[in-house]
Amino acid sequence: MATEYAVHHLERVASTQDEARSRFDGRPCLVTATAQEAGRGRGGTGWVSAPRALATSVAFETWWPVDQVPLITLVAGLSAKRVLGPAVALKWPNDVLTESGEKVAGLLAERTGELVVMGMGVNLHWPDAPQGMAGLFRDDPGPEAGRRIATQWCEDLFAELAAGPEGFLPAEYEEVSATIGSVIAWEGGGPATAIGIDATGGLVVEGATGRQVLRSGQVHTVRPTTLTD
């Protein structure tokens, strides 16, 4: 059975994360906006968006075990990949990239008690995007595209969440990951090669000191590099 949820389509807001949290009344709710004045990324960083953009957040209570909640970001990433199409890939743990490596979307999960607010920002059309960023569409798709994408993403996400943490297949994520196979560095470690995703969503890397699993809360930068850096 599909999850029932309230929908709030707005124009300009401070933050869809905050809007979804404040509008949650016990029933899941989806908030969309065309612009944010105080959007944020992982770790509290600011979010810069395209002239034609989507900001969306969904608030819901989860029955998933506490130690499995970080996996929701990866599940949401897979939902984003299915909705945004074959020309994008996932950068662990929370970015969506074009085939040429520019960031086109980002994900943010925030949890308070049993309440999870899962957000996604998508650059829909960006004619003069700064270096490292891009729009999903070559031409302006119009104002309704964002709402359609948000609804499809929300419904796919709820379907995946209903399957529980055991429904997450690391191999499915690895297949669409832009991170697997890269030699990376992170704060306090590296270089090492990203070789997989474990069942809890951790990034498995292997380097001179052996194999280890990185957690999203520990990693602030994941970047392409070389073994001699």
One DSSP character per residue, 152-196 reads HHHHHHHHHHHT-GGG--HHHHHHTBSSTT-EEEETTEEEEEEEE
User: What pLDDT, on the 0 to 100 scale, is given for residue 86?
Assistant: 95
The CA distance from 21 to 28, in Å, is: 10
Is the model's pLDDT at 133 over the cut of 90?
Answer: yes
CATH superfamily of 6-174: Bira Bifunctional Protein; Domain 2 (3.30.930.10)
199 pLDDT higher than 90: yes
Across 40-58, average pLDDT: 76
Opening angle at CA 6, ends 71 and 41, nearest 5: 40
Cα separation, 95 vs 107, whole angstroms: 6
How confident is the model at residue 229, as a pLDDT? 44
For the cut 80, the answer to whether the pLDDT of residue 161 exceeds it is yes
Q: Is the pLDDT of residue 226 over 80?
A: no
Q: What is the C-alpha to C-alpha distance for residues 59 and 117, in angstroms, rounded to an integer?
A: 4
Indicate the pLDDT class of residue 37, thresholds 50, 70 and 90.
Answer: confident
Give the pLDDT confidence score for residue 36 in this predicted structure. 84
Q: Give the least confident one: 46-50, 81-85, 167-171.
A: 46-50
Amino acid at 158: F
End-to-end CA distance of the chain: 51
What is the residue-averaged pLDDT of the chain? 90
Kind and range of the H or E run holding 79: helix 71-84
- Tens of pLDDT along 79-90? 999 999 999 999
**What residue ranges do the domains of the chain occupy?**
6-174, 179-224
pLDDT score of 109 more than 50: yes
Side-by-side strand order, sheet with 203-207: 210-214, 203-207, 189-197, 183-186, 223-224
